[in-house]
Amino acid sequence: MTKQPNILTDSFGRQHTYLRISLTELCNLRCTYCMPAEGIQLSPKSHIMSFDEVYQIAKTFVDHGVTKIRLTGGEPLVRKDIGVVLKKLASLSVELSMTTNAVIVDRYIDVLKECNIKNINVSLDSLVPKKFEKITRRNNYQQVLDNIHLLIQEGFNVKLNAVLIKGFNDNEIIDFINLGKELPINIRFIEFMPFDGNKWDKQKMVSYAEIMELVNATFSESQVQRLQDAPNDTSKNYKIEGYKGSFAIISSVTNPFCDSCNRIRLTANGRIKNCLFSASESDLLTPLRKGKDIKPIIKKAVQAKFKTRGGMDTSEKFEKPELHGKNRSMIAIGG
C-alpha cells in the first residue's frame, strides 16, 4: 500500500521515513576528513538538545511516518546521558540503530541490547595501527578492533565504514574485503565527500569504478557476486563467494542515489537539514522551547529539498569550493 503524502513528503514525492539524529558535536577522535585540524566552533551547551527534546522532536517525526532512526554525531556514545536518550527513543515504535567509532562501545553493550538496537555501523579507515593513528589523530586502534569483535560476538549486525582516500588507504581495499572471509560483517567503502574544512580534492577520492576495477582484477568474475540492495539503500552490495561477510560501496559523489532518498537529518543543536549537502537548515529547537508547533517548519524544510545533493547536481558544481564550503563540517552534521 502506498503511503499518503504528508509533512514528510517532498515536492518530488519522496517520503522521508528515515531520521538521522546527531546527539553531540563532541568526539573522542579527530578524523581528518571529518573534523578540521583547528577544531570546530562548538554550539553553546545550552543550545544542544536535552534528552527530552530529542525525544519530543523524534516523536513528531515518528508520528508522521518515520520508521527508522539512526543515532550519530560527533560520537554519540560520548554523550553523558546516552543511556537515558537510548531508553527514551526505544519507547517509540521505530527501528533504532547507531553509527559509532566504537572506542567505548564495550561499556554500552547491555543498554544497546535492552533498547533492541541490532544494527551498529562502526567507522574504521585503516587496518594498520599507525595509519589509524594518523587519520584519527588518536591511538585507539586496538580498542576499536577488540570492540568490533565484541559486537559481533554479542550478536549485533556490524557494518564497517571506511572512507577511502587516495594514497592513504586505497591499498587496503582487498585487506578490508578479506576481513569478511571469516567475519560476518559488511564492509562499506565510502567515497570521500567535501565538507567545510576537510580539504576535499577530487584527486583524493577513490571512486566506485576504481574500487570495482581493483576487485575485478583480484577476484575472478564468478567469485564476485552482486547482491540485491535493500529499498532506499545508499550502497551497492557485493559478496565474494564463500565469504561470511560482504562489501558495499557508497558512491555519493560519482553516483548519487537522491531519487530514492528517504533521509532527513537532525543536528545536535536541533536543526533539520533536508540533505547532507544542503547549506540551509531549519531551527526546530528554539520554537519547541517556546511551545510552538514545529510541524509547519518541518513541512517547509522538506518541501524545500532539492532533487539532487542539495543543489550540487553536476560534478562541476561539486568541484567549486564556494558551493560546498558553506556547509558545516561533517562532525557537526552527523554523518
Judged by beta carbon, residue 287 or residue 319, the one nearer ligand SAM is: 319
**One-character DSSP codes across 35-99:** S-TT---PPPGGGSPPHHHHHHHHHHHHHTT--EEEEESS-GGGSTTHHHHHHHHHTSSSEEEEE
Is residue 24 part of the contact set for ligand SAM (CB under 6 A)? no
Is residue 197 part of the contact set for ligand SAM (CB under 6 A)? no
Inter-residue contact 58 to 69 (CB < 8 Å) = yes
241 φ, ψ to 5°? -50, 130
Is residue 198 part of the contact set for ligand SAM (CB under 6 A)? yes
Is residue 281 part of the contact set for ligand SAM (CB under 6 A)? no
Is residue 82 part of the contact set for ligand SF4 (CB under 6 A)? no
Inter-residue contact 141 to 129 (CB < 8 Å) = yes
Interface pick for ligand SAM out of 7, 163, 258, 275 (rule CB under 6 A)? 163
Q: Compute the distance between CA of residue 86 and CA of residue 113 in angstroms, rounded to an integer.
A: 10
Is residue 160 part of the contact set for ligand SAM (CB under 6 A)? no
Q: Compute the distance between CA of residue 46 and CA of residue 61 in angstroms, rounded to an integer.
A: 23
Is residue 72 part of the contact set for ligand SAM (CB under 6 A)? yes
Query: What minimum distance in Å lies between the beta carbon of 159 and ligand SF4?
Result: 14
Piece of 62-70, 72-80, 83-91, 260-268 that binds ligand SAM (CB under 6 A)? 72-80
Piece of 26-34, 63-71, 187-195, 224-232 that binds ligand SF4 (CB under 6 A)? 26-34
123, β-bridge pairs = 161
Binding residues for ligand SF4 restricted to 99-118, rule: CB under 6 A = 101
Interface pick for ligand SAM out of 9, 40, 73, 251 (rule CB under 6 A)? 73
Piece of 28-36, 43-51, 58-66, 312-320 that binds ligand SF4 (CB under 6 A)? 28-36
Is residue 267 part of the contact set for ligand SF4 (CB under 6 A)? no
Pairing state between β 271-273 and 235-240: unpaired
Is residue 33 part of the contact set for ligand SAM (CB under 6 A)? yes
Q: Compute the distance between CA of residue 27 and CA of residue 10 in angstroms, rounded to an integer.
A: 33
Number of chain positions touching ligand SAM (CB under 6 A) = 20
Inter-residue contact 248 to 187 (CB < 8 Å) = yes
Angle between helices 129-136 and 141-153 (to 10 degrees): 100
Residues that bind ligand SF4 (CB under 6 A): 27, 29-31, 34-35, 73-75, 101, 123, 330-331
